[in-house]
Structure 1
Amino acid sequence: MIIGSEKFDWSKFTTTLPCVPVGRSRRENSRFRGEAEALAIRLRALRSDKGMTQEQLAGRAQVAVSTLRKIESGRVVEPGYFTILALANAMGVDPHELADPKDRPE
């Protein structure tokens, strides 16, 4: 990539520290893998109970259908906070209904 008349040096923007991971952790290594699988099951069940297709829910939540599919299949282990809020709002449920029952507030 050329900016101005100089070549852009990407090496200045990457870390060389061994303790800083680059990007997100891999799905199989994530400490949230179990929660992601539980979220996938609850999200799919709630959507089905509401009689909505993936396309309908994604449209109402203004989320890409591919993103919803990845969350429902457990391929996204750390979905974005606002994505989950949008999905819950689009289904008309409290976001805590998507949470693990043991983590729900009383």
Structure 2
Amino acid sequence: MGRRQATPEERERGGALGRELQRRRNEREMTQTQLAGAAGIDLDALRGLEQGRYAHPSFFTVVALAQALDCTVEQIVEGLGDA
């Protein structure tokens, strides 16, 4: 069974999440390699998230990224605005 296609709204939220993750990473002067390592996720997965290619990241991935960025999931979600 394949994954269903993301709706335009889900793709927009995925893009907003990627922009927020990148903003927070840059704010902390971290490279993608550093963040991926700190979060324990694959570098290509992080790149895909930041580029908005993944509309449905796992909750555990977002939690790991939040911890590595020294923030909460709630703070990341708040940074998404109305996306």
TM-score when normalising by structure 2: 0.87
Measure the CA separation in 2 of the matches of 1:34 and 1:102: 10
Amino acid at match of 2:73: P
> Does structure 1 residue 65 correspond to structure 2 residue 43?
yes
Amino acid at match of 1:73: Q
Greater helix proportion: 2
TM-score when normalising by structure 1: 0.69
Would you identify which runs of 4 or more consecutive aligned residues in structure 1 move more than 3 Å? none
Partner-residue secondary structure (3-state), 2:21: helix
Measure the CA separation in 1 of the matches of 2:8 and 2:56: 9
- Aligned residue for 1:25? 4
- Aligned residue for 2:55? 77
> Does structure 1 residue 38 correspond to structure 2 residue 16?
yes
- Aligned residue for 1:101? 81
Measure the CA separation in 2 of the matches of 1:56 and 1:96: 22
% same residue: 33
Conserved in 2, the CA contact under 8 Å of 1:61 and 1:90?
Answer: yes
Count of residues in Structure 1 that have an aligned counterpart in Structure 2: 81
- Aligned residue for 2:65? 87
Query: Quick check: which has more Rg, 1 or 2?
Result: 1
> Using CA pairs below 8 Å that are at least 6 residues apart, which structure has the higher relative contact order?
2
